Amino acid sequence: MAPKKLYIKTYGCQMNVYDSERMAEAMGGEGYETTARPEDADMILLNTCHIREKAAEKVYSELGRYKGLKANKPDLKIGVAGCVAQAEGAEIMRRQPMVDLVVGPQSYHRLPDLLSRTHNGAKALDTDFPEEDKFDHLKARPKAKRGPTAFLTVQEGCDKFCAFCVVPYTRGAEVSRPADRVLTEARDLVERGVREITLLGQNVNAYHGHEGGLAGLIRALAEIDGLARIRFTTSHPNDMDDALIAAHGDCDKLMPYLHLPVQAGSDKILKRMNRSHTAEDYLRLIERLRATRPDLHLSGDFIVGFPEETEEDFQATMDLIAAVEYGSAFSFKYSERPGTPAAERPQVPEDEKDDRLQRLQALLTTQQRRLQDAMVGRDVHVMFEKPGRMPGQMVGKSEYLHAVHVESDAFSPGDIARIRIVSSGPNSLKGVVAPR
């Protein structure tokens, strides 16, 4: 019998990418193969994110596109997973009756069982925060060969309760996976060809599944033969402890790139965000990190137009950005999330948000280009990931996470080579093999 086809559309962060992989693996045990075309699918699954503006409405709009498919193929199953599923629950089925199942991000290990309940037009809903560890109930990852990079979730949930964020409500309290299970999964990935692993968590540096915290886990991972590179994201400044700072200086496999969101540079706004640190705390932390690893490239997150933000508050954010010099960053206009404290406060007019976002992004773009241009003439170590668009070209990432193009057919995915950067483009670098 021909295998059934599963189409998964993933929204949002790297953790959702990882979750989608695990859901596909869970359904693979039920005889499903993934497809890139919803038209070919026997099951469509939207793995959703609730962080961005109008996230739920975008999901409903996407579901609307599948009405014709459902009408022509009555046996087609449609599911919604992830954080919008957790937040909206049965409301999704009420607004879109064609949806067969809804499953939250902590319950997707139950996906095959939920699907089995949807025969004869029945609906299945599971947005619990189960006591059992979902990772214990997922099938072992298949042994198929894979690309040189992989995500690996080690921590979920958040206890920080930032005033703008829904994660504590959709992902639950902070939970860390035991180190032995993380190491087993990492070894399995390396056996299948992975050379770089990015450790994931909503607040990854709050990881406590190893007696040495995240730094201890990183050092244990560094002992795995064949694993060449380790990264982690996303971090909270309050959990960047001494051991993790030290690891950036003496763990060769930990790459010199750190995503460390601050969100704002005004102490007044940071307090209203419930960030529990000041701008000065953040800047002193950056100084310590750079003293440990002088070539560290930093990335951040910024929200403009947070409720009650004045022009003076915004300028404090611009001053912080100027002081730090970011290699990359993500910036957004504040948008209300129902149920969060900030949604009930006086809002900044949209035109002011737009103006501030444009100015902030212009400064970030200038910094990014300046740092990229400064790479010209330097040697970096590039891990190649795939062929480029042009024949004879390979594309990879430097230790600083820059995309690097090299015109050479001497490399395969997973190879690491010393490359001399010869030019800088808007979003990538071009290099040649460095002379010996």
CA distance 100 to 246: 49
Chain centroid to Cα 355, Å, comes to: 27
pLDDT (average), residues 233-241: 95
More confident residue, 125 or 288: 288
pLDDT of residue 89: 83
CA distance 381 to 396: 10
> Do the domains 379-433 and 148-255 match in fold?
no
Looking at residue 67, its amino acid is: K
Average pLDDT of the chain is 91
pLDDT of residue 51: 67
Q: What is the CATH number of domain 379-433?
A: 2.40.50.140
Peptide bond into 34 cis (omega under 30): no
Q: Looking at the predicted structure, is the pLDDT value of residue 176 above 90?
A: yes
- Bridge partners (DSSP) of residue 103 are 81, 126
More confident residue, 188 or 169: 188
pLDDT of residue 326: 97
Nearest to 234 by CA among 268, 266, 262: 262
CA distance 421 to 352: 40
CA distance 408 to 413: 12
DSSP 263: B
Kindly give the pairing relationship between strand 4-10 and strand 416-424: unpaired
Q: Looking at the predicted structure, is the pLDDT value of residue 333 above 60?
A: yes
Q: Which fold has domain 148-255?
A: Transcription Regulator spoIIAA (3.30.750)
Q: How far apart are the first and last CA of the chain?
A: 56
The structural domains of the chain, with segments of one domain joined by +, span 4-126, 148-255, 379-433
pLDDT of residue 130: 59
φ and ψ at residue 32, rounded to 5 degrees: -100, 140
Q: How far, in Å, are 32, 191, 196, 413 from residue 145 at the CA level?
A: 18, 8, 14, 12
Reported as half-sphere exposure (CB side, CA atoms, 13 A), residue 249 has a value of: 12
Range in 140-154, 167-181, 195-209 with the lowest mean pLDDT: 140-154
pLDDT of residue 138: 61
- Bridge partners (DSSP) of residue 230 are 197, 254
pLDDT of residue 33: 92
Rg of the Cα atoms in the chain? 23
CATH 3.40.50.300 fits 4-126, yes or no: no
Nearest to 396 by CA among 347, 431, 366: 431
E strand or H helix at 20:
helix 14-28
CA distance 269 to 163: 10
- Bridge partners (DSSP) of residue 4 are 32
pLDDT of residue 107: 80
Q: Looking at the predicted structure, is the pLDDT value of residue 108 above 90?
A: no
| Percent of the chain whose pLDDT exceeds 70 | 95
pLDDT (average), residues 92-103: 91
In this structure, are residues 235 and 258 in contact, taking their beta carbons and an 8 Å threshold? yes
pLDDT digits (tens, 9 = 90+) for 360-410: 999 999 999 999 999 999 999 999 999 888 888 999 999 999 999 999 989
Enumerate residues 6+ apart whose C-beta is below 8 A from 270: 263, 264, 277, 278, 279
* Token couple for 303: 């929200």
pLDDT of residue 144: 64
- Residue ranges of the annotated binding site for [4Fe-4S] cluster are 13, 49, 83, 158, 162, 165
Reported as half-sphere exposure (CB side, CA atoms, 13 A), residue 195 has a value of: 15
- Residue ranges of the annotated binding site are 13, 49, 83, 158, 162, 165
pLDDT (average), residues 135-139: 61
Quick one: CA torsion of 278, 280, 281, 282, rounded to 10 degrees?
90
Residue-level length of the chain:
436
pLDDT of residue 409: 85
CA distance 53 to 98: 24
pLDDT of residue 388: 84
* Token couple for 324: 């730090």
pLDDT digits (tens, 9 = 90+) for 73-90: 989 999 999 888 888 888
In this structure, are residues 264 and 234 in contact, taking their beta carbons and an 8 Å threshold? no
Looking at residue 412, its amino acid is: S
pLDDT digits (tens, 9 = 90+) for 41-76: 999 999 988 766 577 788 888 999 998 999 899 899
pLDDT of residue 360: 98
Residue labelled with tokens 């730094």: 215
Range in 19-28, 177-186, 187-196, 350-359 with the lowest mean pLDDT: 19-28
